[in-house]
Structure 1
Amino acid sequence: MRIAPFFPLLGLAGLLACSQSEPSSVPEASEKLLAVQMLEAPPMESSDELGGTAALVTAQPAASRKLVYHAEVRMKVADVPATNARMDSLTRAAGAYVEEVSENRADEEWRHRMKIRVAPGRFQGLLRGLGRLGTVESQELTTDDVTAQHADVSARLRSKRALEQRYLALLGKASKVSDILEIEESMGKIREDIEATESRLRALNDEVGFSTITLVYYQPLTRPTPDQPVLSFGSRLVESFYSGWQWCIDVLLGLVAAWPLALLLLAAAALLRRWWRRRRARARQH
């Protein structure tokens, strides 16, 4: 059972009674302030009403549900400029429009990215048309049900607008400057909330009214191979002499770098020679 919405009506009735009857023991400014405080109090909803709203949203038929469709498609094409021309014809035929577009040409590929908005009824048809432009490498489809969110935002907007009308009624009956300033300050806050809620509702309606396709297609590019210069005999002779000299330097540096190995080989040869001499001396003694 809703209780709080009756308090503003009681406050308004009190204001009317005070203006038509003789002054009572309660001052007029106090009654107006009390009415303003009652207006600012959030409405209290019972669990039965909340459950009824949720059941109403759940029981809506599929045709009236608020669905948001998204698709991300990546494909490889043979010619980016030709694909751009075909995309223009395809979007016009589907009644779609391009919201974002970017193009980048690097060393290995030519990439084109675009964000397309299309009516939900032509969403699948446009996707089938895109598949004929090239080789589809990946495709991801998602669907978001925003029925409950849309109903909640709409209900909040109706409540805030009704509250604004009650403030306007109080403002028309206020006589003191302090009361007028207080009511106008509260109305300013309510107006900001209304504009923010309207903006959110417009965004939801735009998402539901136009599905989104994020399309990326690219063309592989091959790097050109430079022609080999034709060298004369003299140039080849000089290059060979330089290569031979460079090889000699590399060998010399390698030998210098291998001095520990050469030292070990010399020590091993000396030990082997001494062992061989001792063996021959023993053989002569026998």
Structure 2
Amino acid sequence: MGAAATNRIVVYEGKLNLGVASFDKASVSIDSLLAVYGAFQASAHETSTDGQRQQDLTLNVPPANFVRLVAALSKLGRVESKDVTSSDITGDVLEASNALNDQQAAQTKQQQLLAKATSPAQAQQLAAQGRELQAGIAEAEARLQRFGAQRKWATLALHYFQYLPAPEPAAPLPAFAPRFAEAFNRGWSWVLSGLVLLTNLWPLLLLGGSVAAGLRWWRQRQQAPA
């Protein structure tokens, strides 16, 4: 039972989102930790938006050091998010290995039959089977290579960024300033209210002016000598 557990193949993957106080110091510390734990950068992408520097790293880590490296990186700042998964691929590796062995055995038998083919039609049929077997062998080999890479290196996607400094608080207003501002707004509100009232009354004012002008003209005509 112990030997079986020892031979299990476990692969690790993770994502770590980290906020740091100093981008440059964090970068130096990350490089040092990678050297300590035998990891390396598979890819790196740095950007700067509105003064905030950030970087995305893909790290390849020896599986035996994966958990310890994640723990050490988490101490460099504040962890915004962290996701770590592990998968036992022992069965997948065994399945792919058996499939490769079966296809290679079938290919050997097919080649023997092709050498003994007695007609062109039979030879063509066996050749087509051989091409299918070769494609299957290539796929199984590629799958085993991927498993081998996963077995050798765990993968960590690290995103870290520098916090922007908090804006300085505005200077407090003098004690009389809020009252002055309130009085100014209240007076300006009265002016606007008056303008709105005049706008609503302009038809009545126009009509009243017209009536007054008509009365004045009528009185002048009545007082004029005949």
TM-score normalised by length of structure 1: 0.57
1:71-220 pair list within 5 angstroms: 71-107=14-50, 109-220=52-163
Closer, same or farther: CA 108–179 of 1 in aligned 2, 3 Å? same
Q: Conserved in 2, the CA contact under 8 Å of 1:107 and 1:221? A: no
Gaps of 5+ in 2: 169-183, 203-226
In structure 2, the CA distance between the partners of 1:261 and 1:59, relative to structure 1 (3 Å rule), is farther
Native 8 Å contact 1:108 1:222 kept in 2: no
Shift of 1:60: 7.1
Give the secondary structure class of the aligned counterpart of 1:105: strand
Alignment of 1:12-51 (within 5 A): none
Other structure's SS at 1:65 match: coil
Q: Which runs of 5+ in 1 are unaligned?
A: 1-57, 226-243, 264-286
Across the aligned residues of Structure 1 and Structure 2, the Cα RMSD in angstroms comes to 3.1
Which secondary structure does the structure 1 equivalent of 2:38 belong to?
A: coil
Query: Structure 1 residues 261, 118: closer, same or farther in 2, change over 3 A?
Result: same
Work out which of the residue numbers 190, 196, 205 in structure 2 matches 1:257: 196
Quickly say closer, same or farther: Cα 1:66–1:103, change in 2 above 3 A. Answer: same
Tell me which residue corresponds to 1:36: none
Give the C-alpha shift of residue 215 in structure 1: 1.3
Output the amino acid matched with 2:123: I
More strand, by proportion:
2
| Aligned pairs, number | 185
Structure with more relative contact order (C-alpha pairs < 8 Å, separation 6 or more): 2
Paired with 2:149 and 2:196, the residues of 1 have a C-alpha distance of 75
